[in-house]
Amino acid sequence: MKRSTARISVAAFLAAATLLTGCNSDDSGSGGSAGKQTSDATSAGTDAGTTDATGSSDDTGSTGEELDKASFYKAVIDAQVEAGSYRSRSSSTTAGMSAVMEGEATYRDGKLFGHVKSSADSPQQIEGVVAAGVLYLKGTSLGLPSGKWLKLDPNDPDNADSPLAALAAVADPEAALRAMGDLTALSKVGEESIEGVATTHYKATMSTKNYADVLGLPAEAAKLMPATMPFDMWIDEENRPVKMTLEFDIAGQKSSTEQTYFDYGADIDVTVPEDADTVTPKQAGLGGLGG
């Protein structure tokens, strides 16, 4: 794998992982012409409400029990699942280029269905759908046939030789939890109000070796990652994330992401691409990229 290809693979992987731990949008984000199959937001967790970013009107004080390294990610993800659905927005900058991704997500029988799409003014247009562990991507930079989605199914052996295989793996929320759940440090900063929502601010450090190993990131790409990755997360009194910031440096390229989460319990539909509108990495010529 070329060094430039490895760098792109890492950047795409980290972006996808961030989105999958919190899809984002303030519009319908229903997937447009993506297909006809839909997943409706279930009634589970809708008592969270939608009165503000997290369905809570409290603007001071905070929050539930203090979390530790072992319980942190599970508590946060369990809280999102219990809420039933949410929206969020991520703003990221890599090598001086900025992009905003918007989307939304819902859980059905504990499985994540989400849709994300770059804002109209983003320099690179990309759209993604997550459907019960399967990841679909569409974007001009992928070189796909017109109107087609790239389908990344972690159970499809055709994905094994693709440099995008790790993206298929991260579509499995349990795998993502195992990968990101290995924290080397966690500290409580204090109680803060984020846009009127009472939160607890945590600083954490994640082991990127575990992250790369669990999700099968190509060795060439994994070598470019820093040994650890610090991030900040603000969670509400029900342990639901309200904001997350992440900064990292890969092969001299600095990247940063800020993600906010809101509209917990909202009524959300996610449209899943039909198989007839998809291609596999092998069919798209995205198998092993050596050289």
Residue 49 has what DSSP assignment? -
The torsion region of residue 202 among left (phi > 0), alpha (psi -120 to 50) and beta comes to beta
CA pair distance 179, 175, nearest whole angstrom: 6
Q: Number of H helices and number of E strands within the chain?
A: 6, 14
Residue 57 burial by Cβ neighbours in a 10 Å radius (0-12, 13-18, 19+) = exposed
129-161 pLDDT tens trace: 988 888 898 887 777 888 899 898 878 876 666
Element housing 219 (H / E): helix 219-222
32-60 pLDDT tens trace: 333 334 444 433 333 333 334 444 333 44
pLDDT computed for residue 284 by the predictor: 81
pLDDT computed for residue 38 by the predictor: 44
CA pair distance 118, 27, nearest whole angstrom: 12
pLDDT computed for residue 167 by the predictor: 64
Which tokens belong to 232? 């900040």
CA pair distance 224, 211, nearest whole angstrom: 13
pLDDT computed for residue 176 by the predictor: 59
Q: What is the pTM of this model?
A: 0.72
Mean pLDDT for each consecutive 10-residue tract of the chain (291 residues)?
40 45 33 39 37 40 70 87 89 76 86 85 80 85 85 78 62 60 88 94 87 68 78 94 85 81 94 93 65 35
Written as one string, the DSSP assignment of 102-163 is EEEEEEETTEEEEEEEE-TT-SS-EEEEEETTEEEEEEGGGTPPTT-EEEE-TT-GGGTTST
**Side by side, which strands form the sheet with 278-279?**
183-194, 197-207, 228-235, 241-250, 253-262, 85-94, 97-108, 111-118, 126-131, 134-139, 149-152, 278-279
Name residues whose C-beta falls within 8 Å of residue 254's C-beta, 6 or more positions apart in sequence: 93, 94, 95, 247, 248
> Could you give all domains of the chain from N- to C-terminal order, each with its CATH number?
3-279 (2.50.20.20)
Under DSSP, is residue 169 helix (H, G, I), strand (E, B) or coil? helix
Q: How far is residue 32 from each of residues 16, 127, 182, 198, 273, measured CA to CA in Å?
A: 20, 10, 37, 35, 10
